[in-house]
């Protein structure tokens, strides 16, 4: 503070009007959290803080937000995504703390901001010298001149400011914002202060992204408004403004067409609705969670109660990711609100319930299927997001190789027989079946489906929804369908002997049957049906083709990075390869929300049931033996299809291993 001339003119840098700030050196006063040892990395600091909190709470209510973060990055380079992905759950929790850079040393009044900018390598010493010269007569700061000339980006300036004052820097394009934290202040206040709480450091302390870290007034006000201590981090003004706009937009994005009509007619429930769930912040928070889930293309939203808070996670491209944490006192309101939306009994908390709600999010019609599950810490809710306006994919968009596609198409274009698609839950089986149905869907064909749930409604089809309450099982649905003179039958899933028996018999009596089965690979479909109690000769003669599949995430084309995977590494991971693989690995950028991936593509293994395959099926041979024959007859295995797609740069080897496993 001795050298007031070295203090940058923040007013000028940020275009803030005079009079709102006092003359001060902001590095210490605005940092109410305990001083940190600058020589330690952020990691040490974080875990130290978390374990303190844990000790204070006797291990019961440690803030999971920070305590569970594994490695936190130190530099601006994003974490090795392929490595992170192998860690599974750990990767998801890291997401939130990506994009944070700890200052490498304590803020020192002896350094000019321009020196920091040079030290960080953003601009050359010569350019700075010129900017300093130019600023002399220009009535502005050298930083401003560098910014305006384009030599320095706003984010680099924010990074330099953070470094200068020993604060954290946030790259908001990568950092995953905790909406529970963001909702603690009004958007008007956020706009006024150009500041948004973005995470809970621990249960008492908020991490607040600020465009102008010198705004003591803002820090004090946010502390009072939220009842939390404030730890300041610096972010580029444009990024903070964009974040505020985004939060605002999400608030308005969700509309429930039925919400207004429903009130008043519910007796007891209405009372509780007004008492707890109807209060505005809860509604706003739930709306934001749903809007963000839709915006980010999540297939499921998980609301999981823990001892002191509710964890919100999204499943995006098949991978669960931490999104936010709702503090304990707000948690019951959030769950109640969701239950009200899905027309569930909010007084019932001990039995699982199942409901639905239709919403419009940013003009898109969304169906949410809500399932509640009682857990030790309260009710958990899983929302399945069904986008009714999503297009049914065309067969050629799914990523089937030429040979595989021809085989599959030939099979489902026959007038009778069974075609099965296999894979675990979430492997895209129904998308593949719908693509086939779309091609089969012509007026001269009677196509019936029995599904749980009906995921897409297709014009021209008769679609039956399985209903456990109403006693309509797959088998019952299938039986009634047989009386309706169908040409093509689609059974959502074969999971019991009765359904399998009817499906096989239908395939043998002049119908085309499409269905799915839970097996790891194509050959196992034969052995699974036989294990279910279907006679081998029926299986062998009914089954025409089996498609096994997985969904692999597609590398983000904006940020993927070239890499070479050596032959021995490929071998060690069970790939057959003669040469090194020249492909790509994930990095993470704004477009892919830091994950390194955007969208998914199918990996396929398509087995034609040839006379040779039939012969071994009749002898009740093992899946391995069936597989051997199929491979000899040209079946490409799942992992080899994955290898091919990694070679094409569509996905990474790590991702192929994640979805295919080591088998
Ligand atoms: Zn990217």
Percent of the chain with pLDDT over 70: 79
pLDDT, one tens digit per residue, over 291-310 is 888 888 898 999 999 988 89
Grade residue 457 by pLDDT with cuts at 50, 70 and 90.
confident
| 97 C-alpha to ligand 1 centroid (Å) | 17
Give the residue ranges of DSSP H helices in 95-172: 113-119, 125-138, 142-149, 154-165
Average pLDDT over residues 438-443: 93
Q: Could you tell me the pLDDT band of residue 390, with boundaries at 50, 70 and 90?
A: confident
Q: Please give the distance, rounded to the nearest whole angstrom, from the Cα atom of residue 595 to the centre of ligand 1.
A: 7
User: What residues have CB less than 8 Å from 454, skipping those under 6 apart?
Assistant: 463, 464, 465
Say yes or no to pLDDT of 68 above 90.
no
What is the pLDDT confidence band of residue 327, given thresholds at 50, 70 and 90?
confident
Alpha carbon distance 653, 577 (integer Å): 13
pLDDT tens figures, 391-426: 788 999 999 999 999 999 999 999 999 999 999 988
Region 187-201: what's the mean pLDDT?
89
Supply the pLDDT for residue 251. Answer: 60
- The Å distance, Cα 110 to ligand 1 centre, comes to 38
Residue 405 CA, ligand 1 centroid: distance in Å: 30
Cα separations (Å) of 42 from 37, 93, 166, 445, 588?
A: 9, 16, 12, 64, 20
For residue 253, how far is its CA from the centre of ligand 1 (angstroms)?
25
Residue 22: closest CA among 51, 1, 49, 53: 1
Detail the DSSP E strand segments found in 63-134.
100-101
Q: How far is the CA of 558 from the centre of ligand 1 (A)?
A: 5
Q: Name every residue whose Cβ is closer than 8 Å to that of residue 529 and which is 6 or more positions away in sequence.
A: 494, 500, 504, 517, 539, 543
CA of 587 to the centre of ligand 1 (A): 6
How far does Cα 186 stand from its chain's mean position? 26
CA-atom Rg of the chain in angstroms = 29
Task: Calculate mean pLDDT across residues 469-477.
Answer: 84
Average pLDDT in the chain = 79
Q: What spacing in Å lies between the alpha carbon of 543 and ligand 1's midpoint?
A: 42
Q: If you measure from the C-alpha of residue 77 to the centroid of ligand 1, how many angstroms do you get, rounded to a whole number?
A: 13
Centroid of ligand 1 to alpha carbon of 144 (angstroms): 30
Distance of CA 586 from the midpoint of ligand 1 (Å): 8
* pLDDT at 476 > cutoff 50: yes
Cβ count within 10 A of residue 11: 16
Q: How far is the CA of 56 from the centre of ligand 1 (A)?
A: 40
Cα 555 to ligand 1 centroid, rounded to whole Å: 8
Question: How many percent of the chain have pLDDT more than 90?
Answer: 40
pLDDT average, residue stretch 318-344: 86
Listed range (168-182, 258-272, 324-338) with the worst mean pLDDT:
258-272
The Å distance, Cα 408 to ligand 1 centre, comes to: 33
CA 450 to ligand 1 centroid distance, Å: 39
Name the pLDDT band for 85 (thresholds 50, 70, 90): very low
pTM of the model: 0.61
Contact yes or no for 304/334 (Cβ under 8 A): no
pLDDT digit string (tens) for 94-123?
A: 445 678 888 776 555 567 888 889 999 999
Element (H, E) at 540: helix 536-542
Phi/psi for 374 (5° steps) reads: -70, 135
Distance 37 CA to ligand 1 centre (A): 33
- Report pLDDT digits (tens) over 120-153: 999 999 999 999 888 877 778 888 899 888 889 8
What's the confidence (pLDDT) of residue 407? 96
Q: Given the structure tokens 């693509």, which residue do they identify? A: 435
Give residue 485 CA to ligand 1 midpoint distance, Å. 50
CA of 174 to the centre of ligand 1 (A): 10
**Which pLDDT value is given to residue 593?**
79
- For the stretch 36-47, pLDDT in tens is 333 333 333 333
Strand order in the sheet with 378-387: 254-255, 353-361, 364-375, 378-387, 298-305, 309-316, 319-327
What's the 123 CA to ligand 1 centre distance in angstroms? Answer: 26
Identify the H or E element spanning 225. helix 216-226
CB 571 within 8 A of CB 577: yes
Rounded to the nearest angstrom, the distance between the alpha carbon of 470 and the centre of ligand 1 is: 46
CA of 489 to the centre of ligand 1 (A): 41
The tens digit of pLDDT for each residue in 493-540 reads: 999 999 999 999 999 999 999 999 999 999 999 999 999 999 999 999
Distance 540 CA to ligand 1 centre (A): 46
What was the pLDDT predicted at 343?
Answer: 86
658 alpha carbon – ligand 1 mean position (Å): 19
How far does the centroid of ligand 1 lie from the alpha carbon of residue 85, in Å?
A: 15
* 463 CA from centroid of ligand 1 (Å): 39
Among 101-110, 252-261, 544-553, 610-619, which stretch is predicted with the lowest mean pLDDT?
252-261
With a cut of 80, say whether residue 375 has pLDDT above it. Answer: yes
* Distances, alpha carbon 593 to alpha carbons 98, 151, 198, 239, 353, in Å: 10, 26, 15, 14, 33
C-alpha 370/C-alpha 355 separation (Å) is 5
Q: Compute, in angstroms, the gap from residue 363 CA to the centroid of ligand 1.
A: 26
How far apart are the CA of 551 and the centre of ligand 1, in A? 19
């Amino acid at each position: 503070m001795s050298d007031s001339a070295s203090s940058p003119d923040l007013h000028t840098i940020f275009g803030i009007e005079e009079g709102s700030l006092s003359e001060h050196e902001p590095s210490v006063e605005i940092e109410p959290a305990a001083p940190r040892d600058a020589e330690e990395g952020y990691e040490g600091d974080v875990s130290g803080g978390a374990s303190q909190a844990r000790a204070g709470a006797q291990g019961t209510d440690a803030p999971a937000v920070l305590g569970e973060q594994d490695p936190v990055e130190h530099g601006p380079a994003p974490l090795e995504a392929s490595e992170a992905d192998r860690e599974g759950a750990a990767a998801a929790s890291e997401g939130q703390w990506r994009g944070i850079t700890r200052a490498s040393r304590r803020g020192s009044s002896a350094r000019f901001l321009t020196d920091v900018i040079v030290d960080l390598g953003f601009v050359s010493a010569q350019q700075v010298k010129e900017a300093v010269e130019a600023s002399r007569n220009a009535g502005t700061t050298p930083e401003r001149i560098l910014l305006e000339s384009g030599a320095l980006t706003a984010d680099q300036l924010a990074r330099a400011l953070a470094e200068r004052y020993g604060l954290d820097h946030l790259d908001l394009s990568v950092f995953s914002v905790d909406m529970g934290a963001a909702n603690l202040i009004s958007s008007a206040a956020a706009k006024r202060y150009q500041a948004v709480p973005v995470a809970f450091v621990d249960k008492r302390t908020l991490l607040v992204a600020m465009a102008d870290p010198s705004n003591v007034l803002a820090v004090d006000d946010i502390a009072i408004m939220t009842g939390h201590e404030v730890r300041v981090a610096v972010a580029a003004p444009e990024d903070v403004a964009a974040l505020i706009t985004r939060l605002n937009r999400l608030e308005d994005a969700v509309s429930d067409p039925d919400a207004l009509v429903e009130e008043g007619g519910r007796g007891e429930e209405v009372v509780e609705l007004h008492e707890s769930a109807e209060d505005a912040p809860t509604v706003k928070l739930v709306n934001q969670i749903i809007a963000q889930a839709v915006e980010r293309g999540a297939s499921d939203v998980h609301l999981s109660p823990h001892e002191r808070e509710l964890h919100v996670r999204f499943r995006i491209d098949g991978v669960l990711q931490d999104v936010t944490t709702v503090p304990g006192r707000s948690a019951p309101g959030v769950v109640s609100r969701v239950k009200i939306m899905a027309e569930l009994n909010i007084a019932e908390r001990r039995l699982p319930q199942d409901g639905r709600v239709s919403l419009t999010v940013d003009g898109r019609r969304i169906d949410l299927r809500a399932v509640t599950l009682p857990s030790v810490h309260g009710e958990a809710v899983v929302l399945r997001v069904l986008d009714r306006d999503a297009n049914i994919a065309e067969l050629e968009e799914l990523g089937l190789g030429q040979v595989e596609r021809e085989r599959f198409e030939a099979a489902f274009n026959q007038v009778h027989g069974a075609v099965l698609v296999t894979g675990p839950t979430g492997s895209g089986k129904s998308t593949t079946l719908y693509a086939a149905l779309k091609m089969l869907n012509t007026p001269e064909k009677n196509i019936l489906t029995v599904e749980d749930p009906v995921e897409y409604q297709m014009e021209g089809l008769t679609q039956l929804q399985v209903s456990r309450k109403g006693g309509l099982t797959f088998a019952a649905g299938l039986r009634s369908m047989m009386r309706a003179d169908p040409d093509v039958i689609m059974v959502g899933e074969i999971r019991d002997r009765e359904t399998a028996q009817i499906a096989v018999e239908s395939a043998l009596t002049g119908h085309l049957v499409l269905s799915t089965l839970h097996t790891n690979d194509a050959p196992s479909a034969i052995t699974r049906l036989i294990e279910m109690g279907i006679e081998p000769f029926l299986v062998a003669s009914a089954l025409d083709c089996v498609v096994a599949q997985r969904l692999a995430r597609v590398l983000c084309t904006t940020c993927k990075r070239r890499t070479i995977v050596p032959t021995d590494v490929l071998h060690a991971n069970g790939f057959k390869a003669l040469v090194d693989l020249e492909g790509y690995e994930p990095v993470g950028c704004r477009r892919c929300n830091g994950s390194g991936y955007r969208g998914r593509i199918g990996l396929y293994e398509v087995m034609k049931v040839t006379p040779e395959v039939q012969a071994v099926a009749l002898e009740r041979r093992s899946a391995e033996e069936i597989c051997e024959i199929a491979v000899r007859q040209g079946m490409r295995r799942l992992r080899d299809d994955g290898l091919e797609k990694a070679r094409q740069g569509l996905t990474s080897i790590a991702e192929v291993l994640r979805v295919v496993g080591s088998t």
